Structure 1
Amino acid sequence: MRHPPRSVVLLVSAAAALLGSAVAPVVTASGATPACTVEYTVSNQWDTGFQGDVKVTNNAAAASSWSLTFDFANGQKVTQGWNAKWSQSGTAVTAANESWNGALASGASLSLGFLGSWSGTNAVPVSFKLNGATCNADAEPTTTASPTGEPTDPPGGGGGDGTAPELSVSGNKLVDSTGATRRLLGVNRSGGEFMCVQGYGFFDGPVDDASVAAIADWDANTVRIPLNEECWLGLSNIKPEYAGDNYIAAVKDLVAKVEAHGMTPVVELHWSYGQYTGNSAGCSDVHATCQKPMPDAQYSPAFWSSVAGAFKDDRAVAFDLFNEPYPDRATSTTTQAWQCWRDGGTCPGIGYEVAGMQDLVDSVRATGARNLILAGGIAYSNDLSQWLTYKPTDPTGNLVAAYHLYNFNTCATEACWNSTIAPVAAQVPLVAGEIGENTCSHAFVDQAMKWFDDRGISYLGWTWNTWDCSSGPSLISDYDGTPTSYGIGLRDHLRALNG
């Protein structure tokens, strides 16, 4: 989906949280409610650095300003942070309110975060104070890191022992290693495509085990993970802490968590390099800051060579080549658009050298990877009318047609689906990698899911993020899996399928 700039949405979400996201108070061992409650999470960690997320709830009287303090025990250092003014003196860390988020109502929660450095041991802080009052009194703070800094399951977390299936193509079906037919049914987890290039982090919201377990609790079996090629490749315009090996490690960690709950991870190239200012341009930036009409020949093949090399020994991971191609908006004829889609090169209306779907398939297979590959059509993956005609050659036979469907798309009626989608689904497996509607309800996706179910087609809801529905279809209002009115449709449908 062509979503709005997340830098704006992040500020709106943060402001909403500060204005009163009430949570149930923590009762201490003595039965009293502490003045404040802190949840400290190490959401990502690499050789010398880590990302810390802090959620603090004010259980006392309302305050016009706030200051949270805690101590590190092993020489960790805060290098930068967000949603607070971060400072450190020796081992003592202070996070004070910004000018725009000083008001903290009783029962309200704050979501803060920072990047830090560590060496040897990364023990979690054990004592927090909000405006001088001790938090989590008579109780240990909730954490998702062990005293050695290694991630562990939070209290009540999923910690699943499932096994994600190795999938392959058999006719127009997906099958596992036993030959049983499978469908990919689940959600998108947006964030990996924009947070790094905007300089905020790796993902939007928590990606700890509890948040992944919440997805599995909807009876989802698949999580699609959008990525950014510049962040993966570690190009110079990306902050080093979010680039290259650090970004790759964060993606691998999320993939492992998804698989640990028996779900299929689909890693996908969402934002890519190349300057495009033509019809329907999402941005004028040459860098990977928005959806481009096609992958670029300069970096996209290298991206897929690297990604495939990273996951070729894990056949449970599927590869989605490119989010939403739209060469049809740049070229003058549909034939030119489909030729550009498959063959790349110099495409009419696109100012950079294009990597076609065949180029990307070849890049993946050259590594020896036999993983499942998804290829979306033109018109933002909403047009598959000539997908079979221009189908790339895959020597392994594990190529799948990908389709995106929203209520505002051109092909959003059963008549269109019957004439253009059903013929493709009769020949090859079809995965609707994004479905959704912008009505904050689920009448349209209910209709679409029934049509897909009747034909054995896979589908993934957009998106498992806590955005306001006015900025795009958001399935949840909290990462514990609390659904929006739109998300209720997908959640209840998935549960009914397995009921």
Structure 2
Amino acid sequence: MAGIREVARRARWRLGLVATAAAALVAGTGLVAATSAQAAAGCRVGYAVSSQWPGGFTADVSVTNLGDPVTGWTLAWSFPSGQRVTQAWNATVTSSGNQATAKDAGWNAAIGTNATVSFGFNGSWSGTNTAPTAFTLNGVACTGGVGGSTSPTASPTPSTTPPTPTPTSSPSTPPPAGTAMAAVAAMQPGWNLGNSFDAVGADETAWGNPRVTQALLDNVRAQGFNSIRIPVTWSNHQGAAPGYLIDAAWLARVREVVGWALADGFYVVLNVHHDSWQWINTMPTDHTNVLNRYNALWTQIAGAFKDSPARLVFESVNEPQFTGSSGDAQNAGLLNELNTSFHRIVRASGGANATRLLVLPTLHTSAEQARVDELSSTIAALNDPNLVATVHFYGYWPFSVNIAGGTRFDATAQQDLTDQFDRVHTAFVARNIPVVIGEYGLLGFDRHTGTIEQGEKLKFFEFLGWYARQRKLTTQLWDNGQHFDRTTFQWQDPELFAQIRSSWTTRSGTASSDQVYVPKTGAVTAKSLTLNLNGTTFQGLRQGSTDLVAGTDYTVSGSTLTLSAAALTRLVGSRAYGVNATLQARFSAGVPWRIDVITYDPPLVSDATGTTASFAVPTQFRGDQLATMEATYADGSNAGPQNWTSFKEFDVTFAPNYGSNTISLKPEFFAEVNDGRKVTLTFHFWSGTKVTYHVTKSGGSVTGSVN
């Protein structure tokens, strides 16, 4: 499967999508604290709800000290809508009724004049989630300005525990001094600007996103990201030989956006992006011209940014690949030549480039052992302490695109992740060479984020964030507009982002499914799910603001959660098709796990006619959802594209449309179906129901039948 997976990755085109989701609230108030008699006091508090889901939310709180230095703080407020804190980071947060108190974590007890500290928490809510507007610090009401004084208060004893890198550090916080490992740790977590500056068309809107704005970067930073990768394709903005001059206006625009990001406090990764397959890939047959052009490109980039702060990082080339080579040995040699040339040019350009962090990729940015070994050899030969290795990760390919029955984040998909992260940890991190997962996500997101079932998707991101922390890997989320909307500055899927954000600092409990299916007719029976505690403890089930009753509504035996027949009968009510109730499984840490209680009947399909360009199976889904589809001929052989498997690729060869009550079979499917041979389709639904259907292609015509 590795070869198939790499082909899929190299062919990836990331199209932008519109996103919508969570709102942010900012409260400007005063904050006071004391370190000595009659100390001037005042501060500003920012309170932002960065993500929200039914029954839960994530909030970020920033405290900017406008008065004399503070050496210990306790912030208090009252929730106006009965919210409760369930888990916190960078502060110890306690609550009693509607009253909440956040105490410094020791290592962040000191707040200098005009400095900022931040903390965050997950909370629960029902009805409304109104933001608090009044805060006190050390018992003194915040006023929003500098004025008055406070009496001395005892400062807490500083903790001896070293600070953990946090996703919410102030933009004014300088990068850590010392090793490359420390700097790359401070880059966690990271975000990709996507293909905005890939610019295969006229300008940065070519991929469907709006022009990058300073407000976009401000809002991304406010989500808790500490680094931003800015992919740039230079091909359409570089002149001819021998100078290969970069268009001045294009370079100025890139410098403007990089400057905004640096001003926001980001670490910024700037690279040579899809030039990798537009012209660099011809290096085996056009070696001299490619190398000259590549060297000219990096000479100009290095010169333009040589005086930029150390938080600007250069990446030699994105997903390097070569066409027409003699094989792995030549590929390794060519990439070594590019990485070595890049290193020499940047280091010789002077200024901050003499010690700037430089990111070097493996071939295809693959974490396969041979590719990792090749890069390890290059880094060893360069003998430079400020080098960073990078690979990309889009998951186990069948799961990542939903093909070959890979509908679940199962043991195989999990093992693929741990194997890859273990390899780069052993090769690099264990040898004090930092690693950036420069892109991560799921390949199915290139079409839309619904290719992978929601609960399975959440388990993937929960596990990825946790295991990356175990292996000390910095991660940078790939986002071409399908996650964070570039205009509204909201998340399309706040539940997904809440899981991602939580994974930066802790684990969350999950379950074998986020769906419980109850038949529309007949007796309602008890249903069970397997809990994945992930080091947490199960706290209970809640519907909205109402706790379900343990022992009556549900039981837990070991890792098995069972909903009683009586509780399910109450929850499904009149048993209308679809989601009748949503529960929250709550754990001692992380975000709650949503469980939808769904009423269904086996879906019904009907006969139809159409063409290979437009054919749809009339489908009464009746509350159920489609997981995958198999296609076989009468002799049992596999039909359709990628006939090494009977299970076809979701949304590429088929796609459900719940609004129009159809399952479309796409032209890509019929393009590889034999004329005149009946194909048996088996539709697999998430309830466990299987429905068969038959299609026959005759030229450009298609007939479909139940029998």
Instruction: Give the TM-score category using the shorter length.
Output: 0.5 to 0.7
Contiguous gaps of at least 5 residues in structure 1? 25-159, 280-285, 287-292, 344-355, 468-473
Q: How does 1:123-202 map to 2 (within 5 A)?
A: 162-163=171-172, 165-166=174-175, 170=179, 173-175=181-183, 182-195=186-199, 197-201=200-204
CA positional deviation for 1:258? 1.1
Residue 396 of structure 1 deviates from its aligned partner by 5.0
1:338–1:386 CA contact under 8 A, matched in 2: yes
Partner of 2:374: 386
Per-residue CA shift, 1:389-417, capped at 9, x if unaligned? 23265475311111111114599431343
1:361 matches 2:343: yes
Match of 2:263 among 249, 260, 264: 260
Identical pairs, percent: 20
How far apart are residue 310 of structure 1 and its match?
1.5
Contact map agreement 1:192 1:228 (CA 8 A) in 2: no
Q: Which residue matches 2:305?
A: 311
The alignment partner of 2:438 has SS state of strand
Report the more deviating stretch, 247-256 or 215-224.
Answer: 247-256
Among 356, 359, 373, the residue aligned to 1:371: 356
Q: Give the aligned residue type for 2:379.
A: K
Instruction: Show the counterpart of 2:611.
Output: none
Asked if 1 retains the 8 angstrom alpha-carbon contact of 2:190 and 2:476, the reply is yes
CA contact (8 A) 1:164 1:316 kept: no
Rate the CA distance shift 1:491–1:207 in 2: closer, same or farther, 3 A.
Answer: farther
Match of 1:460 among 476, 479, 503: 476
Matches within 5 A, 1:19-168: 162-163=171-172, 165-166=174-175
1:478 Cα deviation from its structure 2 partner: 5.5
Tell me the equivalent position of 1:493: 503
Q: Which residue of 2 aligns with 1:334?
A: 328
CA, structure 1 residues 317+446, in 2 after alignment: closer, same or farther (shift >3 Å)? same
2:272 equivalent in structure 1: 269
Change (3 A) 1:235 1:481: farther
1:245 to 244, 248, 256: 248
Give the drift of 1:22. Answer: 12
Say which of 291, 294, 316 aligns to 1:300: 294
CA RMSD of aligned residues (A): 4.1
Matching of residue 481 in structure 1 with residue 490 in structure 2: yes
Q: Distance in 2 between matches of 1:385 and 1:412?
A: 18
Q: Distance in 2 between matches of 1:306 and 1:456?
A: 33
Change in Cα spacing, 1:174 to 1:409, as seen in structure 2 (3 Å) is: farther
> Secondary structure of 2:191's partner?
strand
Q: 1:187–1:420: structure 2 CA closer, same or farther, 3 Å change rule? A: closer
Contact conserved, 2:392 with 2:437, CA < 8 A, in 1?
yes
Greater Cα offset, 161-170 or 383-392: 161-170
CA displacement at 1:381 relative to structure 2: 3.7
Q: Secondary structure at the residue paired with 2:182?
A: strand
Question: Larger C-alpha radius of gyration, 1 or 2?
Answer: 2
Shift of 1:299: 1.6
Q: Which amino acid aligns with 1:215?
A: V
* Matched-pair contact (CA < 8 Å) for 1:185–1:222: yes
Secondary structure of the structure 1 residue equivalent to 2:439: strand
Deviations 1:97-125 (A, max 9, x none): xxxxxxxxxxxxxxxxxxxxxxxxxxxxx
1:215-230 equivalences under 5 Å are 215-230=220-235
Deviation at 1:198, TM superposition (A): 0.9
- Contact 1:424/1:430 (CA < 8 Å) preserved in 2? yes
Rounded Cα–Cα distance in structure 2 between residues aligned with 1:22 and 1:175: 32
Question: Quick one: which amino acid aligns to residue 373 of structure 2?
Answer: S
| CA apart distance, 1:220 | 0.3
Q: How many residues align?
A: 311
CA contact (8 A) 1:361 1:392 kept: no
3-state DSSP of counterpart to 1:444: helix
TM (normalized to structure 2)?
0.39
1:426 aligns with 2:452: no
AA paired with 2:171? G
SS for the counterpart of 2:376 is coil
Q: 1:209 aligns with which of 186, 209, 214?
A: 214
Higher relative contact order (CA 8 A, sep 6+): 1
Q: Are the equivalent residues in 1 in contact too, given 2:316–2:342 (CA < 8 A)?
A: yes
Q: Quote the Cα distance in structure 1 between the aligned partners of 2:288 and 2:461.
A: 27
2:471 and 2:248 mapped to 1: Cα distance?
41
Tell me how far apart the structure 1 counterparts of residues 268 and 280 of structure 2 sit (CA, whole Å): 30
Question: Which amino acid counterpart does residue 347 of structure 2 have in structure 1?
Answer: R
- Taking a change above 3 Å as real, the CA distance of residues 412 and 478 of structure 1, as seen in their structure-2 partners, is farther
Which letter maps to 1:249? Answer: A
**Could you say if the C-alpha distance between residues 298 and 414 of structure 1 is closer, same or farther in structure 2, counting changes exceeding 3 Å?**
same
Distance 1:278 1:268 in 2: 19
Query: 2:238 and 2:314 mapped to 1: Cα distance?
Result: 17
Instruction: Say whether the 8 Å CA contact 1:229–1:300 is kept in structure 2.
Output: no
Deviation at 1:297, TM superposition (A): 0.8
**For the Cα contact (< 8 Å) 1:168–1:398, is it kept in 2?**
no
> Could you say if the C-alpha distance between residues 466 and 175 of structure 1 is closer, same or farther in structure 2, counting changes exceeding 3 Å?
closer
- C-alpha change, 1:248 and 1:379, in structure 2 (3 Å) is closer
Q: Which amino acid aligns with 1:359?
A: S
Over residues 204-224 of structure 1, what are the superposed CA-to-partner deviations in whole Å (9 max), with x where a residue is unaligned? 324222211221121100000
Structure 1 residue matching 2:273: 3-state secondary structure = strand
Residue 202 to residue 302, structure 1, CA distance change in 2 (3 Å): farther
For residues 234 and 161 of structure 1, the distance between their equivalents in structure 2, rounded to whole angstroms, comes to: 40
Query: How far apart, CA to CA, are the structure 1 residues paired with 2:421 and 2:500?
Result: 20
Query: Contact conserved, 2:194 with 2:231, CA < 8 A, in 1?
Result: yes
Q: Is contact 1:167-1:175 (8 Å) kept?
A: yes
**Given the superposition, is the C-alpha separation of residues 362 and 278 from structure 1 closer, same or farther in structure 2, using an over 3 Å criterion?**
closer
Name the SS of the counterpart of 1:456 in structure 2.
coil
- 2: distance between equivalents of 1:396 and 1:275? 25
Deviation at 1:435, TM superposition (A): 0.9
Query: Structure 1 residue 173: deviation in Å?
Result: 1.2
Normalised by the size of structure 1, how large is the TM-score? Answer: 0.53
Note the C-alpha offset of 1:323.
0.7
Inter-partner Cα distance in structure 1 for 2:392 and 2:496:
17
CA contact (8 A) 1:382 1:409 kept: no
Do the aligned partners of 2:421 and 2:471 also contact (CA within 8 Å) in 1?
Answer: no
Report the secondary structure of 1:389's partner residue. Answer: helix
Residue 228 to residue 477, structure 1, CA distance change in 2 (3 Å): closer
Partner of 1:449: 465
Which structure shows the higher strand fraction?
2
Q: CA deviation at 1:454?
A: 1.1
CA distance in 2, matches of 1:231, 1:320: 19
